[in-house]
Amino acid sequence: MAPKKKGDTPGVGLDLGTMNIVSARRSPEGVETKRMRDAFIDLPISARKMLALSDASYVERDGEVFILGDAAMEMANVFGREPRRPLAGGIISPKESDALEVLKLLIQHVLGAPSEENEICFFSVPADPVDQPEQDVIYHRGVFEKIVRECGYTPYPSNEAMAIIFSECALDQFSGVALSFGSGMVNVALAIQTLEGLSFSVARSGDWIDRGAAKSTGNTQARICAIKEAGVNLLDPKGREQEAITYYYKAAIEYALDQIALRFKMIEGQFSLPRAIPMVVSGGTSLAGGFLELFLQVFERKRKRFPIEISEVRQAKDPLNSVAYGMLVQAMQEYNDE
């Protein structure tokens, strides 16, 4: 167990994403986050000597070495390979036979040792994907519960988009609609005073934008992703690639909003909304320049027929970390209730 620092509060939040794994803890200096890329690459054992010189995290296994996290992305570029990813479309990839072993190592790295025995860890689980009805999150949740427990923590699975309500909507009595635009998915939750009224996910987010723009312009997905992350102004795209990225962004936003309207109408009779509620956008995909403005443009055109009264649309303060923060808020609350 890690020695407890003076003033440290127990409880940890963990965001398990298709691209990033993030932990959040409370220390006397404020909230501390730790992030690692959810990726790895295998190299022959002969690469070990070279790796020993670098500060890359790696593990050895039957004649090969696995390089983990951000270093895997760099090595993939050096060797002209695609990095391997344990998650695909928001959930554990059925095609990646080494996913579970690698995920345990990545999570151990991001969580570190618990500050007390069986420290509480809230971890993110996506909502059921509505556009892939054959998929659910039962296996995914079970696997992560086991891994987090094996790391020495008490696991609490918790909805990804609800975490954004907990980190961003305290002043709205924890009411709002949250959208987490990640890599594999857009996760959506509607909450009224901390209670989840609706949640679902769709598989059209960052990877879908990259795939679509790549296919339309004859580029690799990795190249489009690099152009996108280097900074695109969605309100003023330059050149074919940026334009294609912008078209897919707009389509992803439209799709997410249409799905919210559709799903809400299906349950509308079951509860009433007391007043207008805010809509909060978050996730790495929302970091693109002009994202909030583009989102607003698309929303304004739908507002009249939108079944939920929205008071304002705003962006999370720290889009890559807001899910981990929201998980931490819930973990700390468990200790307060004692």
Chain contacts with Mg ion (rule: CB under 5 A): 17, 182
From the list Mg ion, ligand ATP, none, partner contacted by residue 18 (C-beta under 5 to 8 A by kind)? ligand ATP
Q: Residue 39, interface with ligand ATP (CB under 6 A)? A: no
DSSP 34: E
In the complex, the smallest distance separating the C-beta of residue 36 from Mg ion, rounded to whole angstroms, is 14
Closest to ligand ATP by CB, 13 or 182: 182
Choose, by CB under 6 A, the member of 11, 69, 86, 284 that binds ligand ATP: 284
Kindly identify the residues of this chain, within the stretch 70-109, that bind ligand ATP according to CB under 6 A. 90
Q: Residue 283, interface with ligand ATP (CB under 6 A)? A: yes
**Of 111, 185, 110, 212, which is closest to residue 154 (Cα–Cα)?**
111
- Binding residues with ligand ATP: total (CB under 6 A): 22
Distance CA 312, CA 309 (A): 9
Sort 194 into a burial class: Cβ within 10 Å, 0-12 / 13-18 / 19+: middle
Closest to Mg ion by CB, 43 or 177: 177
Say if CB 36 and CB 70 are below 8 A apart.
yes
Distance CA 321, CA 25 (A): 12
In the complex, the smallest distance separating the C-beta of residue 15 from Mg ion, rounded to whole angstroms, is 6
Closest to Mg ion by CB, 58 or 291: 291
**What are residue 168's phi and psi, to 5 degrees?**
-120, -10
Q: Residue 320, interface with ligand ATP (CB under 6 A)? A: yes
Pairing of strands 186-192, 176-181: antiparallel
Cβ within 8 Å of residue 35, ≥6 positions away: 20, 21, 22, 110, 320, 321
In the complex, the smallest distance separating the C-beta of residue 321 from ligand ATP, rounded to whole angstroms, is 9
Q: Write out the two tokens for 56.
A: 């890359």
In the complex, the smallest distance separating the C-beta of residue 323 from ligand ATP, rounded to whole angstroms, is 7
In the complex, the smallest distance separating the C-beta of residue 205 from Mg ion, rounded to whole angstroms, is 9
Kindly identify the residues of this chain, within the stretch 185-224, that bind ligand ATP according to CB under 6 A. 185, 205-207
Render 71-125 in DSSP notation, one character per residue.
Answer: HHHHHHHHTT-PPB-SEETTEE-TT-TTHHHHHHHHHHHHH-S-SSTTEEEEEEE
Q: Residue 184, interface with ligand ATP (CB under 6 A)? A: yes
Sort 290 into a burial class: Cβ within 10 Å, 0-12 / 13-18 / 19+: middle
Cβ within 8 Å of residue 330, ≥6 positions away: 13, 122, 156, 158, 163, 166
Choose, by CB under 6 A, the member of 135, 158, 167, 183 that binds ligand ATP: 183
Choose, by CB under 6 A, the member of 11, 12, 14, 17 that binds ligand ATP: 17
Taking each helix axis as running N to C, give the angle between helix 138-150 and helix 99-111, from 0 to 180 degrees, rounded to the nearest 10: 50
In the complex, the smallest distance separating the C-beta of residue 89 from ligand ATP, rounded to whole angstroms, is 8
Closest to Mg ion by CB, 17 or 69: 17
In the complex, the smallest distance separating the C-beta of residue 195 from Mg ion, rounded to whole angstroms, is 22
Q: Residue 288, interface with ligand ATP (CB under 6 A)? A: yes
Q: Residue 115, interface with ligand ATP (CB under 6 A)? A: no
Reduce the DSSP state of residue 225 to 3 states and report it.
helix
In the complex, the smallest distance separating the C-beta of residue 8 from ligand ATP, rounded to whole angstroms, is 26
Quick one: how many helices (H) and strands (E) in the chain? 10, 15
Residue numbers at the binding site for ligand ATP (CB under 6 A) = 17-20, 90, 180, 182-185, 205-207, 225, 228-229, 283-285, 287-288, 320
